[in-house]
């Protein structure tokens, strides 16, 4: 195990091997952070490729398997990371799933599965890092929501509810930690060029792009840039905000 210089901040990114997660890991590593990508065990196969890409950077990316919907697993993985590397300074909650269908067809299982990952997952992770951050007097928490949590989306009552809930959670926790050097913010990506959006039909995709003033889908790098901004050491006066990164999408309304 490499010895980490004390000055290097430790960052954990849930969903760290996903379309946006990898870009967020890269952004934070680029800023010299020691980054732990936390994701489902099966995603470890992406780690070698990421480490290869980052070989010339100062930062480091490692991997820890965990299911964010499981409270005990989150507690155990955070304890393991803190024991190996020291206190967690930056937490980015990017793990997320969709279970799309109209409400008329939505099963309780589709509702609860999504809530357990997209909303409980944020609680499960924050619950176990916030005391350490508060006692050390520094922390940056960035929760990834979605434009669909701000506008609602057909077929996504579960997803839109969870994503709107994520920002309510961020604001409440931001108030609880504001005097302890811990900021809590939300980033709400618009439609990004990732497998999630690639799955829609060409016709729907064209319509989505037509509604984006910038005239293109977002890139994972666009989102990671915003996360890096909020996670910076000198971003301590920004807390409880919801930063939309959507190519000016709201101006279309």
249: annotated active-site residue: no
Stretch that binds ligand NAD, among 3-11, 35-43, 126-134, 202-210 (CB under 6 A): 35-43
Q: Please tell me whether residue 244 binds ligand NAD under the rule CB under 6 A.
A: no
Structure token pair of residue 97: 């799933």
Spatial distance between the Cα atoms of 182 and 134, rounded to a whole number of angstroms: 6
Stretch that binds ligand NAD, among 5-13, 81-89, 190-198, 202-210 (CB under 6 A): 190-198
Question: 10-14 and 182-189: which strand pairing?
Answer: unpaired
CA distances (Å), origin 90, targets 191, 197, 207, 223, 251: 25, 28, 36, 16, 32
Instruction: Answer for the pair 171, 177: CB distance below 8 angstroms, yes or no.
Output: no
Structure token pair of residue 168: 């309510």
Stretch that binds ligand NAD, among 3-11, 15-23, 77-85, 208-216 (CB under 6 A): 15-23
- Binding mask 114-143 vs ligand NAD (x if CB under 6 A, - otherwise)? ---x--------------------------
Spatial distance between the Cα atoms of 31 and 58, rounded to a whole number of angstroms: 8
Residue 46 Cβ vs ligand NAD, minimum distance, rounded to whole Å: 8
Q: Please tell me whether residue 39 binds ligand NAD under the rule CB under 6 A.
A: yes
- Binding mask 96-115 vs ligand NAD (x if CB under 6 A, - otherwise)? xx------------------
Q: Please tell me whether residue 144 binds ligand NAD under the rule CB under 6 A.
A: yes
Q: Which helix (H) or strand (E) holds 36?
A: strand 34-39
Residue 239 Cβ vs ligand NAD, minimum distance, rounded to whole Å: 20
DSSP-derived secondary structure letter, 82: H
The residue among 175 and 204 lying less far from ligand NAD, judged by its C-beta, is 204
Phi-psi region of 63 (alpha: psi -120 to 50; beta: other; left: phi over 0): beta
Spatial distance between the Cα atoms of 115 and 69, rounded to a whole number of angstroms: 9
Spatial distance between the Cα atoms of 31 and 11, rounded to a whole number of angstroms: 11
Among 40, 57, 208, 235, interactor with ligand NAD by CB under 6 A: 40
Q: Please tell me whether residue 94 binds ligand NAD under the rule CB under 6 A.
A: yes
The residue among 67 and 89 lying less far from ligand NAD, judged by its C-beta, is 67
Residue numbers of the site for ligand NAD (CB under 6 A)?
14-15, 17-21, 39-40, 43, 67-69, 94-97, 117, 144, 146, 189, 191-192, 194-197
């Amino acid at each position: 195990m490499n010895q980490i210089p004390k000055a290097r901040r430790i960052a954990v990114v849930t969903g760290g091997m996903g379309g946006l997660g990898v870009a967020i890991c890269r952004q934070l590593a680029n800023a010299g952070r020691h980054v732990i990508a936390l994701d489902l065990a099966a995603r470890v196969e992406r780690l070698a490729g990421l480490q290869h890409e980052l070989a010339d950077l100062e930062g480091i990316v490692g991997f820890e398997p965990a299911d964010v919907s499981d409270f005990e697993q989150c507690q155990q993985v955070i304890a393991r990371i803190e024991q190996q590397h020291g206190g967690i300074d930056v937490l980015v909650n990017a793990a997320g799933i969709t279970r799309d269908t109209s409400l008329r067809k939505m099963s309780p299982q589709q509702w609860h599965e999504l809530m357990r990952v997209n909303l409980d997952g944020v609680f499960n992770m924050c619950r176990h890092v916030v005391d350490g951050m508060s006692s050390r007097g520094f922390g940056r928490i960035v929760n990834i929501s979605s434009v669909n949590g701000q506008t609602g989306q057909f077929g996504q009552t579960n997803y839109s509810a969870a994503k709107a809930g994520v920002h309510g959670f961020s604001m409440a926790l931001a108030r609880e930690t504001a005097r302890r050097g811990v900021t809590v913010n939300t980033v709400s990506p618009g439609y990004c060029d990732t497998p999630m959006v690639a799955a829609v039909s060409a016709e729907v995709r064209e319509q989505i792009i037509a509604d984006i003033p910038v005239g293109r889908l977002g890139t994972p790098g666009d989102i990671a840039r915003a996360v890096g901004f909020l996670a910076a050491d000198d971003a301590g006066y920004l807390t409880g905000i919801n930063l939309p990164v959507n190519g000016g999408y709201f101006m279309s309304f």
